Amino acid sequence: MPAGHLTTKHRTEPAVTAHTDARLVRVALLGCGTVGEGVVRLLRRNAEMFERKLGAAFDLAGVADRSLRPNPALGLESRLITRDPASLVIRPDIDIVVELFGGQEPARSLMLKALEAGKDVVTANKALLAENGDEIFRTAAKCGRAVGFEASVGGGVPIIRTLREALAGDRQLAVYGIVNGTCNSILSVMTEAGTEFEDALRQAQESGLAEADPTLDIEGHDAAHKLCLLVTLAFGVLLKPARVFTEGISRITRADINYARQLGYTIKLLAIAKDDNGAIEARVHPTMIPRRHLLADVAGAFNAIYVHSEALGPTMYYGQGAGQLPTATAVMADILEIARHRRAGSRGGAHALGYPAGAVRPGSIKRMDDVVCEYYLRFMARDQPGVLGAIASVLGRNRISIASVIQQERGVGSTVPVIMRTHEAPERNLKRALMAIAKLKMVESSAFIRIEERL
């Protein structure tokens, strides 16, 4: 019985390297940081439950991490720890490699190497899968191995399996995700406490919710990575992050949030995917949504994915989108599922993306110019007669009709804010109108936020 064997009564027995016991499933961990440590905790804490569910025990056979020190309380003895991940992923006794390094390299090469060596792989690495998922899933199919990636979108929220399996009997029409807890926390603080963006970001950094360099989160790139995976699962279309229109939350002001409230909206960073008769919309941007909508109540670091299916209608999946144990539960669910397939002698990964290997192809992605939305517009204009009329006339020439206007408080010096909500128009028309309005001497600046009224 090996040293890492996770049934409590066997934990201290000596290690063996040969794969001799069919009642063991041997797991190697790449990375024992936040999520990796959570996986070790769950393996230890729930060892007996997993053994009952699987009919075999998990054996944590090795952990590759450049900075990990032995931690006897966690059962991480020095003989389990290695600085040589390349050797670990091809060790003959390993069944499942769990990649929790993050980033592109060496995670990509190690996953490919593990698959080619006959291991199944579990990962939480959305950045890697969004950029290189096609190569990884093709290699898995070629090698007859599985790739589990439940933790890569929504942390502990089981959205990957839901789209691939539970909703597989229906056609998906649209997916709206609050999939970045950092942005959602910042926007929640701005909304609830009336804070400006920079202060809310600083608070998020101080509480550990935002990285020291928050760019990946606040500029929407992390959400775009997750959207690529959601698009593939929902529509069977391969999408790379470069093709996702991505705009972050750093230009949202406290004033925008207040005007949104007056107009009956809440601002959220949404990852939006729609299938418009084969043309896929894929965009990440701050979005005004009706305050009465379920997604408007998703506050703080929570995530939610709202799916519109043709026959079923809307469903929503909500929960902890990050954090050690929530994310580790999703990793463990993949490990367990793969282990079940291994023990049954079946291939669990043949349809990891919900389609046979090779059936997921690049699709037609709608240009932002063709996307139709309603818009919130904010102009800072000179406080003089005729301003409203001049702006409205440019909008009208570009076939944008105004649904409502707020013009109430005096601005700084001689400027006043002019706030408008429009009816639906293609983004091409809005951009043309804003370029023309920028030439009006009486308008000093403009900003807009897209509205999703009927999600």
Ligand X SMILES: NC(=O)c1ccc[n+]([C@@H]2O[C@H](COP(=O)([O-])OP(=O)(O)OC[C@H]3O[C@@H](n4cnc5c(N)ncnc54)[C@H](OP(=O)(O)O)[C@@H]3O)[C@@H](O)[C@H]2O)c1
The residue range among 60-68, 193-201, 274-282, 446-454 that interacts with ligand X, by the rule CB under 6 A, is 60-68
Q: Residue 106, preceding bond cis, omega within 30 degrees?
A: yes
Residue 347 zone, left/alpha/beta (φ > 0; ψ -120 to 50; rest): beta
Q: Which is nearer to ligand X, 36 or 286 (CB)?
A: 36
Q: Which is nearer to ligand X, 258 or 324 (CB)?
A: 324
Q: Assess 302 for contact with ligand X (CB under 6 A).
A: no
Q: Which is nearer to ligand X, 32 or 455 (CB)?
A: 32
Q: Which is nearer to ligand X, 51 or 217 (CB)?
A: 217
Q: What does the alpha-carbon distance between residue 93 and residue 166 come to, in Å, rounded to a whole number?
A: 34
Active site residue 226: yes
The CA-atom distances, in angstroms, between 408 and each of 258, 384, 415 are: 13, 14, 12
User: Tokens in use for 252?
Assistant: 């949202």
Binding track, positions 324-363, relative to ligand X; x by CB under 6 A: ---x------------------------------------
Q: Assess 155 for contact with ligand X (CB under 6 A).
A: yes
Q: Which is nearer to ligand X, 106 or 264 (CB)?
A: 106
Which listed residue (125, 162, 398, 446) binds ligand X by CB under 6 A? 125
CB of 125 to ligand X, least distance (A): 4
| Residue 111: Cβ within 10 Å count | 28
Which is nearest to 405 in space by CA: 393, 390, 392, 424?
392
Q: Which is nearer to ligand X, 131 or 281 (CB)?
A: 131
Q: Which is nearer to ligand X, 35 or 223 (CB)?
A: 35
Which listed residue (58, 62, 63, 65) binds ligand X by CB under 6 A? 65
Residue 368 DSSP one-character state: G
Residue type, 401: S
Which listed residue (61, 163, 322, 325) binds ligand X by CB under 6 A? 322
The residue range among 62-70, 170-178, 233-241, 385-393 that interacts with ligand X, by the rule CB under 6 A, is 62-70
The residue range among 25-33, 70-78, 287-295, 341-349 that interacts with ligand X, by the rule CB under 6 A, is 25-33
Q: What is 68-108 written as a DSSP string?
A: ---BGGGTB-GGGEES-HHHHTT-TT--EEEE-S-SSTTHH
Q: Assess 40 for contact with ligand X (CB under 6 A).
A: no
Q: Assess 217 for contact with ligand X (CB under 6 A).
A: no
CB of 146 to ligand X, least distance (A): 18
Q: Nearest-CB residue to ligand X?
A: 33
Q: What does the alpha-carbon distance between residue 226 and residue 211 come to, in Å, rounded to a whole number?
A: 18
From 119, 126, 226, 366, the catalytic residue:
226
Residue 406 DSSP one-character state: E
Binding track, positions 4-23, relative to ligand X; x by CB under 6 A: --------------------
Q: Which is nearer to ligand X, 127 or 143 (CB)?
A: 127
Q: What does the alpha-carbon distance between residue 271 and residue 180 come to, in Å, rounded to a whole number?
A: 9
The residue range among 40-48, 195-203, 319-327, 336-344 that interacts with ligand X, by the rule CB under 6 A, is 319-327
User: Tokens in use for 109?
Assistant: 């090469």
Q: In this structure, are residues 293 and 260 in contact, taking their beta carbons and an 8 Å threshold?
A: no
Q: In this structure, are residues 117 and 85 in contact, taking their beta carbons and an 8 Å threshold?
A: no
Q: How many residues bind ligand X (CB under 6 A)?
A: 23
Q: In this structure, are residues 27 and 61 in contact, taking their beta carbons and an 8 Å threshold?
A: yes
Q: What does the alpha-carbon distance between residue 258 and residue 291 come to, in Å, rounded to a whole number?
A: 12
Q: What does the alpha-carbon distance between residue 186 and residue 179 come to, in Å, rounded to a whole number?
A: 13
Residues 93-122 that bind ligand X (CB under 6 A): 100-102, 106
CB of 119 to ligand X, least distance (A): 18
Residue 277 DSSP one-character state: T
Q: Assess 271 for contact with ligand X (CB under 6 A).
A: no
The CA-atom distances, in angstroms, between 218 and each of 110, 208, 242 are: 29, 14, 17
CB of 215 to ligand X, least distance (A): 14
The residue range among 64-72, 138-146, 248-256, 337-345 that interacts with ligand X, by the rule CB under 6 A, is 64-72
User: Tokens in use for 142?
Assistant: 């070629």
Active site residues: 226
Contacts to ligand X by CB under 6 A: 31-36, 64-67, 85, 100-102, 106, 124-126, 151, 155, 322-323, 327
